[in-house]
Amino acid sequence: IRLLAVRAPMKTFLPSDSAGELCDRRLELLNLQLAYARAHSSFYRSSLKDGPEALSDLAELARLPFLTAAELESRGRELVCVPLSRIRRIVSLQTSGSVLPKRLFFSEGDLERTVSFFAEGMGQMTRSGQKVAVCMPGNTPDGIAGLLSAGLRRMGAQPLAIGGIADFEETAELLRREKPRVVVGFPAQVRRLALCAPDLRPEHVLLSGDYLPRSVCATLSRVWGCGVFNHYGLTESGYGCAVECPCHTGQHIRHEDLILEIADIQTGAVLPLGSWGEIILTTLRREAMPLIRYRTGDLGRLLPGPCGCGDPRPRLDRVRGRIAYAFRSPSVYDLEELLYGMDAVLEFEARNTEGGLEIRALLIERGAAEAVRKAVEAGFPEAHAAVLPCSRLASAGKKTLL
């Protein structure tokens, strides 16, 4: 079976001709993907053997088993559907508590579809001839910054491949010279850049790669006066998954490449639109490594009703982060909402200790530590916080709560 010689144009932000045609198209792609996976993957021949040969409705996808992160780690090679000669990129992800890394395989066609998604998504905030600062890692041709840069060039924009921000003053000077219309980067790093260089004032920022607190969006809108766009993507989705349009009423999904379900965290039952649960990912046109009902471990929900742009399809709401951390009190996401609303805090790391909550923070002024401590204890009365000013964090842009 040759899957995905299908190369239909994406309609990520455009209304479909009819809801029925959209469902028929996605059902066709889903059945092609299932047949392809069974034919070429020993893992899926076994895991899908008790399922129907073809689904008659998209809702029947819920009858198929989940694919877990543990299975991806231990049996990932069995999911691969093409010979190694057709593999363009392999990404290894080491997760906490795991001995084996997750390894994700991508063909040239898989990466090409990501480039197309990036080109269409970036078209919501930039145009041909304009500069876009890509402050993301992976500047190699098949890395995330490389793929985004390829998408920008395809639409005629000019990518500035900066990489992850290591020196904020140096980056600010570069952006002053280049004057990009859009800045793309991690939420914490772009926020810090704005506080260090409020004069930059790009028209838009696109934030991705980490949990996005509302306080970060508010800070960027206030300091730079810019539009803030949210993108949700993970390596398993081929980096691109869902991105906001200018209406900012949820993130539009790569509907011709992915199906997202929301499942009850405890029972695994599929939840109705509007309910919070675990994001479940199914690929529709993946060549190298199809993922059928993959449990992402992320907390999210799908929004019903049409978007203001006219797209009638469900959108992905702001993702609440990793389920493993979201229900701690206080969670790292709760702390981000609070601390990233304080201009005195540039970045932070947090850790639970025997004596209470220890926060190591990069502060604009060391004297702000006491005000930060009081704000944390006022926001989380059960927390006994110690705020330690420091000049450097273990991993800039990444927060930990242990």
10, pLDDT greater than 60: no
- What pLDDT sits at residue 366? 82
- What pLDDT sits at residue 288? 98
**pLDDT by residue (tens digit) across 237-264?**
999 999 999 999 999 999 999 999 999 9
pLDDT band at 394 (very low <50, low <70, confident <90, very high): low
Q: What is the DSSP letter of 90?
A: E
63-76 mean pLDDT: 96
60, pLDDT greater than 70: yes
Question: At which residue do the structure tokens 């792609």 appear?
Answer: 29
Calculate ∠ Cα 326-102-190, nearest 5°. Answer: 50
- What pLDDT sits at residue 102? 93
Structure-model confidence comparison of residues 353 and 90, the more confident one: 90
Average confidence score pLDDT of the chain: 91
Among residues 59, 94, 33, the alpha carbon closest in space to that of 235 is found at: 94
179, pLDDT greater than 80: yes
Q: Is the dihedral of CA 339, 344, 350, 356 positive or negative?
A: negative
* CA separation for the pair 35, 48 (Å, rounded): 10
> For the ranges 53-67, 95-109, 114-128, 263-277, which has the lowest average pLDDT?
95-109
Among residues 300, 356, 366, the alpha carbon closest in space to that of 333 is found at: 300
**pLDDT by residue (tens digit) across 134-157?**
999 988 889 999 999 999 999 999
For residue 246, cis peptide bond before it (omega within 30 degrees of 0): no
